[in-house]
Amino acid sequence: MTPSAVLLLPGWQNSGELHWQSLWERLHGYRRVQQHDWMRPLRGDWLVQLEEAVLACGEPAILVAHSLGCIQVAAWAAHSRSAHRVKGALLVAPGDVEREDLRAQLPGWSPIAREPLPFSSMLVASHDDPYCSFARAQSMARDWGAELTDLGRAGHINADSGLGDWPQGQELLRQLQQLN
């Protein structure tokens, strides 16, 4: 699999330089799916960006999503006719956009698509994530048919979590690639 077939899907406000997604981009040449507006994410616009990135891949893609990116993957997979072009998805710290405070900031992203994902997936969640309770992440994993990995107390599993280039995440990605 070529590195450019691994599509990085950051969440709201994009992933900064020290976020593991940015480190993976630099270290391994994975491809970040760009959005027109990271600060005011429009769901429909984000879905089209993902659709176009998947269609542009010369081989089946692996999606590596963080936070709102996970919700984007579920929404996209629920409708897209291109979902068969995806080999698997690593979903990390999904943002609970149905929560009242987040719903107000991210209108248009509720409800979260709960259809089973039509490709292999793993969901990584933490017990002290400020944007999603562990129980909610568990229920998303169950509905999406994703294998759940419990990361303990790792916050939002982002740059603030002090993960560096997150070797455990890379191991999960390797396992995901081998599942197929």
Partner 1 sequence: MAKIFCIANQKGGVGKTTTTVNLSAGLAKVGQRVLMVDLDPQGNATMGSGVDKRSLKLSVYDVLLGSAGVGEARVRSDKLDDAGCGYDILGANRELAGAEVELVDLDQREKRLKIALTAVSADYDFVLIDCPPSLSLLTLNGLCSAHGVIVPMQCEYFALEGLSDLVNTIKQVHANLNKDLQIIGLLRVMFDPRVTLQQQVSEQLKSHFGEKVFDSVIPRNVRLAEAPSYGVPGVVFDPASRGAQSFLAFADEMVARINKEAAQPA
**What part of residues 93-152 is at the interface with partner 1 (CB under 8 A)?**
107-108
Select from 34-42, 120-128, 157-165, 172-180 the region that touches partner 1 (CB under 8 A): 34-42
Tell me the three-class secondary structure of the chain, residue by residue.
CCHHHEEEECCCCCCCCCCHHHHHHHHHCCEECCCCCCCCCCHHHHHHHHHHHHHHCCCCEEEEEECHHHHHHHHHHCCCCCHHHEEEEEEECCCCCCCHHHHHHCCCCCCCCCCCCCCEEEEEECCCCCCCCHHHHHHHHHHHCCEEEECCCCCCCCHHHCCCCCHHHHHHHHHHHHHC
Instruction: Determine which residue in the list 20, 24, 30, 76 makes contact with partner 1, applying CB under 8 A.
Output: 76
CB of 165 to partner 1, least distance (A): 32
Nearer to partner 1, 113 or 122 (CB): 113
Instruction: Determine which residue in the list 18, 42, 103, 147 makes contact with partner 1, applying CB under 8 A.
Output: 42
Q: Tell me the number of residues near partner 1 by CB under 8 A.
A: 18
Instruction: Determine which residue in the list 2, 45, 56, 171 makes contact with partner 1, applying CB under 8 A.
Output: 45
Give me the residues that bind partner 1 (CB under 8 A), please: 36-37, 40, 42-48, 51, 75-76, 79-81, 107-108
